[in-house]
Structure 1
């Protein structure tokens, strides 16, 4: 990942899927992979997410400072919506 913003975006996109599909091993592993990138490459911890209307608000700690970023819900939810529209293309591989 070249930027923290990209890493947060990728993590949040798959985390939304993982939250919706808790028994999907691939989604869980991919979300965990992005958490490790955030921790190891960008020194980000304690991510929390809140969805408000059409935005996801992400709070996180970096270098002992609490920070916030926002993402449009339509960008984050695109993967989950695709899975819901065409579930036959996205087999759920349970843990």
Structure 2
């Protein structure tokens, strides 16, 4: 999985896990993507902030900072989909 997709998936499920702290499946999936970022992509640290309509993700690899940005509505779509499905609530 490429870095762009891994951060996208990590961020999407992080939003779900943060919003649903009792959802063990969300937490397990979040931890899975967190491990991919650390093991496969050697990411040392991640920081998230909102700016306008974007999530900005700063990350460090070998002490070098880089940034990716994702539309908030695209990232939050997973949480909205889960919350609108009665079998998950």
Q: Same fold, TM exceeding 0.5?
A: yes
The reply to whether residue 20 of structure 1 matches residue 19 of structure 2 is yes
Which whole-Å CA distance do the structure 2 matches of 1:20 and 1:69 have between them? Answer: 22
TM-score under structure 2 normalisation? 0.92
The alignment covers a number of residue pairs equal to 89
SS of residue in 2 equivalent to 1:66:
strand
Q: Which blocks of at least 5 consecutive residues in structure 2 are unaligned? A: none
Aligned residue number for residue 69 of structure 2 = 70
Alignment match, 1:7: 6
Decide whether the 8 Å contact of 2:49 with 2:56 is kept in 1: yes
Q: Tell me which stretches of 4 or more aligned residues in structure 1 moved more than 6 Å.
A: none
- Residue number in structure 2 paired with 1:54: 53
State the Cα RMSD in Å.
1.1
